[in-house]
Structure 1
Amino acid sequence: MEVAMHRSFRLSLVPLALSLALPAAAQEAAPAAPSPEEQAMMEAYQKAATPGPQHARMAEAVGTFDMVVKSWQAPDAPPTTDTGVSTRRMVLGGRVMVEEAKATMMGQPFDGLGLHGFDNVSGRWWATWNDSVGTGLMVAEGDCDDQGACTFTGSWNDPVTKGKVTARMTSHWTDANTEIFEMHGPGPDGKEMKMMQITYTRRAQ
């Protein structure tokens, strides 16, 4: 009888011991608070990754657009005109816009893929472009105003000279559903000329 009571008393102490030990163990296992430097670093990364008003404005340009593409080979030559369709959508949680274009260029099928974004760190807009008439990458950076008018400078590798070609690109909206894109680059004489103009007209949803 006495042995049984002693054993029962010891067993009753186990929950009490565990209840006292667990908070201490949890306190020992809790990670240390970040240092001021670590906290500042985390806040900087969070600020860089958070979509802002520029990304919201970019999202206003999503949709399906009919394109009219005019291309010039020389300043005094008439342009060729082609047509196509461009679709734009937001990805990566509203941080980047993807543009996919399908058109004809000089009678041949043409596919293009572009990315558009705003870098919170640099405070500048950026764009990339790949298409089916090459294997290289065009990279551009620029600025846009509150009305959506943008000026970019971009470059790519020239297949003939193997050197960099630099172009100036502008875009603006004439109304809520029409955007005009223009590209100016070096002409045959090396002087800047208008190379391309694309009129985007958004289809009704």
Structure 2
Amino acid sequence: MIRTLAVALALGAALPVLAQDAPPEMSPEEAAMMQAYQQAGTPGPQHAEMAKTAGTYDLAIKSWMDPNAPPTSETGTATRSMILGDRVMTEKVEATMHGQPFTGHGMTGYDNVTGKYWSTWNDSMSTGLMVSEGTCDDAGACTFTGSWNDPVSKQEVSARMTTKWTSPTVEVFEMYGPGPDGKEYKMMEMTYTRR
């Protein structure tokens, strides 16, 4: 009996403190803001589609320094995985580029707020960052536009990138940028073959 009374008194003393520690009730505006943030941060069907491309790929790389010259051909590997609770796809590339060892790192995501895909890229040939934005269709074909700072001209250079699946295991990436005459030309083609 005395023990029960002591427990009841202790709980009675603790309840006001617990009530003070409870979060305050949100206003309708705060609740709407919280809901908007939750919707913005919740992975959706676009993220699920990206997750399907996780895995390891063999790369066949063609690159053109001069639009009128034949491309160089090199090989490499790419590894894709989802991070941040299946919100962002990362890609690590290990290859040779112009005869030199090459490592690259990219991230791709879908922004629920803008309704667009985004991508970042940096690699061992630069200390800068390329940022792109784009759209994809229901078949997984995507078109991005992005830019980076050219080390020769010190100016921002824009490029257009496309990706498309030619089979369930093969994806082709193409990159187009300005040539010496300012006209767009194909700078790179990377064929990904899933292992």
> Fold conserved (TM > 0.5)?
yes
Output aligned runs, 1:40-189, within 5 Å: 40-189=32-181
How many residues align structurally? 194
Query: How much has 1:73 moved relative to structure 2?
Result: 1.8
Q: Which amino acid aligns with 2:105?
A: L
Q: What is the alpha-carbon root mean square deviation over aligned residues?
A: 2.0
In 2, distance between residues paired with 1:73 and 1:98?
27
Q: 1:82-104 CA deviation, whole Å, 9 max, x = no partner?
A: 10000001111101111000001
In 2, distance between residues paired with 1:12 and 1:96?
54
Query: How much has 1:28 moved relative to structure 2?
Result: 5.0
Query: How much has 1:74 moved relative to structure 2?
Result: 2.1
Matched residue SS, 1:174: strand
Q: Which amino acid aligns with 1:132?
A: S
The normalised TM-score by structure 1 is 0.88
In 1, distance between residues paired with 2:55 and 2:194?
7
Q: Which amino acid aligns with 2:25?
A: A
Matched residue SS, 1:179: strand
Moved more, 156-165 or 30-39: 30-39
The normalised TM-score by structure 2 is 0.92
Q: 1:34-90 CA deviation, whole Å, 9 max, x = no partner?
A: 001110111111111111100000001110000001011222211110100000011
Change in 2 beyond 3 A, CA 1:177/1:31: same
Q: Percent identity?
A: 60
Change in 2 beyond 3 A, CA 1:16/1:168: closer
Matched residue SS, 1:37: helix
1:5 maps to what in 2? Answer: none
Q: Which runs of 5+ in 2 are unaligned?
A: none
1:190 maps to what in 2? Answer: 182
Change in 2 beyond 3 A, CA 1:127/1:19: closer
Matched residue SS, 1:78: coil
Regions of 4+ moved over 6 Å: 11-16
Q: 1:161-196 CA deviation, whole Å, 9 max, x = no partner?
A: 100010000000011110000001000111000111
Q: Which runs of 5+ in 1 are unaligned?
A: 1-8
